């Protein structure tokens, strides 16, 4: 079975498009439902109705999740093109809307949102009260082309050609401890405990740095949240490598000098080129650059 774009538009409701693509991308009904803010039974009903309209099974149900059938693979390309056309239209319409009002969705890490971005957003709210800024701080990378976010700040550079991006700020890191509790010695670390990033982020430079300098220290806790790491450090759970803006402003912890500073990290800011003339986005980007760029 082959689908051309015109044929697919005749059998596919616009509301079916995100259902099909979410299941194809996520691999399970549960994950797709969470992605779209739907319930799993609703996703299942919508998929069955779509397969009945198409006249073919689009996914094979396996123990590992949903896998596209040949018919599903044939439908995927045209569905992606439909999505891209719809998203491009949304971005163009959004980018042409004048006035400093409306919503902006911003993505960044938890600690960056709390420590670095919140003061800027508070200032922005006073300047432009008709603009609602929605801040997303979970660790996944939000897609600018799919309009999952309007503005993204992250430690990984952007490589999408349609994204306008620049380095925003270089963040220094430091090793912190509850005062008087730990006296680590570089090259040893015996008797010390560490609070690290979780295993999914185990390749981050600060993890390699602290385990190299304190090879005998015991790992007692891991978290993908720098805020959680800082709190555990303040409660005496262990030493933690933290961004200096967070660590220096966190009560109950102090900087530890091992004679070598942890590696710094760059934070990048990016937005889709179709939104470059959107006044509310331009105003927010300009203020962020004024307050945070170095």
The per-residue pLDDT for range 64-79, each reduced to its tens digit, is: 889 888 888 888 888 8
Task: Please determine whether the domains at 98-171+266-292 and 173-263 fall in the same fold group of CATH.
Answer: yes
Percent of the chain with pLDDT over 90: 55
pTM higher than the cut 0.75:
no
Domain range annotation of the chain: 5-93, 98-171+266-292, 173-263
End-to-end CA distance of the chain: 55
Q: 173-263: which CATH topology?
A: D-Maltodextrin-Binding Protein; domain 2 (3.40.190)
CATH superfamily of 98-171+266-292: Periplasmic binding protein-like II (3.40.190.10)
pLDDT confidence bin for 85, thresholds 50/70/90 = confident
Digit-coded pLDDT (tens) for 169-227: 999 999 999 999 988 999 999 999 999 999 888 789 999 999 999 999 999 999 999 99
Do strands 102-107 and 151-154 pair parallel, antiparallel, or not at all (unpaired)?
parallel
Q: Considering Cα of 102, then 107, then 111, then 117, what sign does the dihedral take?
A: negative
Residue 99 has pLDDT above 70, yes or no: no
Output the CATH code of domain 5-93. 1.10.10.10
């Amino acid at each position: 079975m082959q689908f051309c774009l015109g044929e697919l538009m005749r059998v596919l409701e616009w509301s079916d498009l995100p259902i099909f693509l979410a299941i194809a991308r996520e691999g399970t009904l549960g994950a797709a439902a969470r992605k779209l803010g739907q319930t799993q039974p609703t996703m299942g009903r919508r998929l069955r109705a779509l397969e009945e309209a198409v006249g073919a099974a689009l996914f094979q149900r396996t123990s590992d999740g949903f896998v596209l059938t040949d018919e599903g693979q044939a439908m995927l390309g045209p569905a992606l093109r439909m999505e891209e056309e719809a998203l491009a239209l949304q971005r163009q319409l959004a980018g042409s809307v004048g006035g400093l009002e409306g919503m902006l969705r911003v993505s960044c890490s938890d600690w960056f949102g709390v420590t670095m971005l919140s003061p800027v957003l508070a200032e922005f709210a006073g300047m432009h009260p008709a603009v609602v800024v929605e801040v997303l701080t979970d660790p996944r990378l939000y897609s600018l082309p799919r309009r999952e976010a309007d503005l993204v700040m992250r430690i990984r550079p952007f490589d999408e050609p349609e994204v306008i991006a620049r380095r925003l700020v270089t963040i220094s890191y430091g090793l912190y401890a509850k005062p008087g509790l730990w006296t680590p010695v570089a090259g040893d670390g015996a008797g010390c405990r560490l609070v690290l990033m979780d295993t999914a982020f185990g390749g981050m430079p600060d993890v390699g740095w602290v385990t190299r300098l304190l090879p005998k220290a015991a790992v007692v806790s891991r978290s993908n949240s720098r805020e959680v790491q800082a709190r555990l450090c303040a409660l005496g759970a262990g030493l933690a490598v933290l961004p200096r803006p967070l660590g220096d402003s966190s009560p109950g912890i102090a900087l530890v000098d091992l004679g070598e500073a942890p590696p710094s990290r760059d934070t990048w800011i990016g937005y889709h080129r179709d939104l470059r003339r959107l006044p509310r986005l331009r105003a927010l980007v300009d203020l962020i650059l004024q307050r945070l760029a170095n």
